[in-house]
Amino acid sequence: MMRTFLIPGIILIVFLFGAVTLMATAPVLEPAAQEPVYTTVRIQEVAPESVQLKVHSQGTVMPSTESQLIPEVSGRVMWMSPSLVAGGYFEEGELLARVDDLDYINARDRARATLGRAEAEQQHAEFEYRRLQSLEKRRLTSRSQLENALRAMRVADAALQDARVNFAQAEQNVERTEIKAPFSGLVRSENVDIGQFISRGSPIATLYASDAVEVRLPVADRQLAFLNLPPTLRGELPEELQPDVLLSTEYAGQKLAWQGKIVRTEAEIDVSSRMVQLVARVPSDPSGTPMSVGLFVEAEIEGLSADDIIVLPRSALRNDNQVLVVDDENRLRFRPIEPLRLYQDNVLVKSGLETGERVCLSPIQTAIEGMTVNPVLDS
């Protein structure tokens, strides 16, 4: 009976002793102040620089000179040059086609005979007038006979002049039976063949020159402020005012580029797009890759040079043309700026920031004036 109460009592005493010991040796927790965690932001130090402004556009290559090949005489085509095909190349003055010249040679020979007869008639009339003029001085002929001789000489002179013009025209018609290239270039299209009868004034082919090509580049009127172009000038630009333009494209898996000049502006502004058309000209380079007509190209036009410009990523720009500046105490401050231009992924700032100031680049959903941040310099 005694053992029944003794053993549980001993176990209870042991547990109470252990509990007292644990409570006596337990560590004392002391409250500690929690350190604040600041938002980490990327920053950029302001460093003004000189920037070469550029204006971008795009357009399609077209020939600088294009004309239709029109015969000046009618007749049957007796011969055609192998170059007179679509895509064919020819040199200036090269014979492209020949018209049957038999009728024109006969007309020239008849005109030559008429000219010879007119020359003989004129010589006889002039001799007769001189003879009667001499006789009239000695009063051996009447005044009316002299006047008739003068009239006959003048008629003969007019007939001779007419015969000379007809002969020159007949000779030129014979030359015109050979249709020659007016310039060096390429054939865009042709619609004639050997044996076909062609009429004077009807085009038989379309040609374009290969010495240079042009590209019409639409530019917004507000973008003209970045180019060194007189706003009221129309037509061809003086050589010293012609901006450089880099034209590039990707064709047949290759990146191609050409250097040209803006040579003129078109007189009208497009009423639908409010765009001004600038015309770039690229002279042909025998040693380089030619620009094919119809090629679509991107254009980068060299503009004005601006000094003391601050270049920031576009992400740094906040509403109402503001940026966030991190002050010396690492606090955010809103700062209004005057942007010069939004260009690609950057904003060009003209004023509002000082050299050495730190601009926040990180997007912050809720930015508060005076908010403390942890700035990290953007690499």
Residue 154: closest CA among 192, 180, 199, 121: 121
pLDDT band at 31 (very low <50, low <70, confident <90, very high): low
Answer yes or no: CATH 1.10.287 is held by domain 101-176. Answer: yes
pLDDT at 161: 96
What is the CATH architecture assignment of 42-51+307-377? Answer: Beta Barrel (2.40)
Has residue 265 got a pLDDT over 70?
Answer: yes
Is the alpha carbon torsion for 105, 106, 107, 111 positive or negative?
Answer: positive
Whether domain 68-100+177-209 has CATH 2.40.50.100:
yes
Domain boundaries, given as residue ranges, for the chain: 42-51+307-377, 55-64+210-305, 68-100+177-209, 101-176
Query: At the topology level of CATH, where does 55-64+210-305 sit?
Result: Elongation Factor Tu (Ef-tu); domain 3 (2.40.30)
Q: Please list the helix, strand and coil fractions of the chain in percent, rounded to the nearest 5, in that order.
A: 30, 40, 30
What pLDDT sits at residue 123?
94
Whether residue 157 has pLDDT greater than 60: yes
Indicate whether 103 pLDDT > 90: yes
pLDDT tens across 287-323, in order? 888 888 999 999 999 988 888 888 998 888 888 788 9
pLDDT (mean) for 240-267: 90
